Structure 1
Amino acid sequence: MGDVSIGSLMVGNYSGCLCIRASRIWDFYDPRDETKLLHTDLVLIDKEGNSIHAQIYPPITEMFKPLIKEGSVYNISFIQVKKSNRMYKPVKNDIMINFTRWTTVEEVVEVPTAFPVITYSLTPINKLPSHVEDREYFTDVIGTVTGISGVSPVRPRSQQADTLKRTVTIRDARSAVHV
């Protein structure tokens, strides 16, 4: 297993072995061209429950995407650790990982039973409206989507151009919230 935890990483290039689970994986495409992959994103979690955001940029995404499956555990080495993005962070961590062409990935076959599977920070549904304009973090919530409005143009005070928005209604066991 890895010789370092996520909590001990510091900004810079790192060649040591980090044992992580790929808790979540998704692709981010150019909003203006849905055929252009900008990067693949991952939420990684170590055996201590620490989490970190990772990104893989083209053209090396083709090298790593077949090797990494959501839910599996890996030893990774030769990564770049950098300051986290300013906006839309999936986890609370001041640093993140970039895969490089030198990064190595090896699947761990015998995973300890206590190795965490997921990481999240749930927001109570009644607190969602206060997170609408918060762009620092993604928001995790449990509920059922009961309605999605059509797209309409909105001009925020901080911008000079219209932005397309829609209203999403989410319900938990007690109430519905429009965000």
Structure 2
Amino acid sequence: MSFTYIRDLQPFQFNKKLKVRICRMWRSKLIGSNDQFNGLQCILVDQMTDAIQASIKEINYDFVAPNIKAGCIYEITHFHTGRNKPSHKVVPHVAQLFFNVRTTFKELPTIHPHIPRHRFYLVDYTQLSTRIDKIDILTDVFGHITGIQPLEQKKWSPMRGLRINVKSALKIS
């Protein structure tokens, strides 16, 4: 079976083989809970510098997590794809990977062509205002501190019906 590039993955596919680097991993918590996790999330990057999110359900966490670590390159098989959820999308890919106890991870040595350690979807600061109120992909801000001011209470509404109080102390450009 030949390798599939991330850009060629679509929702609801099976029997694919990837050669990717796991560039980021994190555990998400259940909403409203301080001590219950909701599995493991990963960002994978391939040699074409495309990225995709992968998820492991909490029930599979103890079986899958010990087999992978961030920064390493793997040949991955026995997974399936689904639609990337618009509520917490972190990369602009239509598909998302789902790993379980059947998924195999074969660690590969550093190989050529090079697979980058990270993939960023940067937006020029002058275009950042176009991201306001868009919830199709989470947006990180990358910049430098231009000033510090006293804390002040702000109301922010990223999604309809949801209000979060944010304390603002830094100005970022």
Provide the rounded CA distance (Å) in 2 between the counterparts of 1:17 and 1:92.
21
Deviations 1:62-89 (A, max 9, x none): 2222222111111110111111111231
Deviations 1:1-36 (A, max 9, x none): 962211222332422321111111111112311211
Residue number in structure 1 paired with 2:85: 85
Provide the rounded CA distance (Å) in 2 between the counterparts of 1:140 and 1:157.
16
Maintained 8 Å contact 1:14/1:77: no
Residue number in structure 1 paired with 2:120: 120
| Structure whose residues are more often helix by fraction | 2
TM-score under structure 2 length normalisation: 0.82
Provide the rounded CA distance (Å) in 2 between the counterparts of 1:69 and 1:156.
32
Residue number in structure 2 paired with 1:104: 104
Provide the rounded CA distance (Å) in 2 between the counterparts of 1:6 and 1:155.
33
Maintained 8 Å contact 1:80/1:100: no
| Structure 2 unaligned residues grouped into runs of 5+ | none
Provide the rounded CA distance (Å) in 2 between the counterparts of 1:85 and 1:148.
37
Maintained 8 Å contact 1:124/1:141: no
Displacement after TM superposition at 1:110 (Å): 3.5
Residue number in structure 2 paired with 1:44: 44
Q: Structure 1 counterpart of 2:135, which letter? A: R
Displacement after TM superposition at 1:130 (Å): 4.4
Provide the rounded CA distance (Å) in 2 between the counterparts of 1:154 and 1:97.
31
Q: Structure 1 counterpart of 2:122, which letter? A: L
| Structure 1 unaligned residues grouped into runs of 5+ | 173-179
Q: Structure 1 counterpart of 2:38, which letter? A: L
Maintained 8 Å contact 1:51/1:91: yes
Q: Which moved more, 1:106-115 or 1:71-80?
A: 106-115
- CA-atom RMSD, angstroms? 2.8
Displacement after TM superposition at 1:126 (Å): 4.4
Displacement after TM superposition at 1:152 (Å): 6.4
| Structure whose residues are more often strand by fraction | 1
Identity in percent: 19
Provide the rounded CA distance (Å) in 2 between the counterparts of 1:6 and 1:134.
24
Displacement after TM superposition at 1:128 (Å): 3.8
Partner SS for 2:96: strand
Q: Structure 1 counterpart of 2:103, which letter? A: T
Maintained 8 Å contact 1:121/1:140: no
Q: Structure 2 counterpart of 1:93, which letter? A: H
Provide the rounded CA distance (Å) in 1 between the counterparts of 2:87 and 2:29.
16
Residue number in structure 2 paired with 1:171: 172
Provide the rounded CA distance (Å) in 1 between the counterparts of 2:159 and 2:87.
19
TM-score under structure 1 length normalisation: 0.79
Maintained 8 Å contact 2:28/2:37: yes
Deviations 1:125-173 (A, max 9, x none): 34445434322211133224657947666789942xx63320443424x
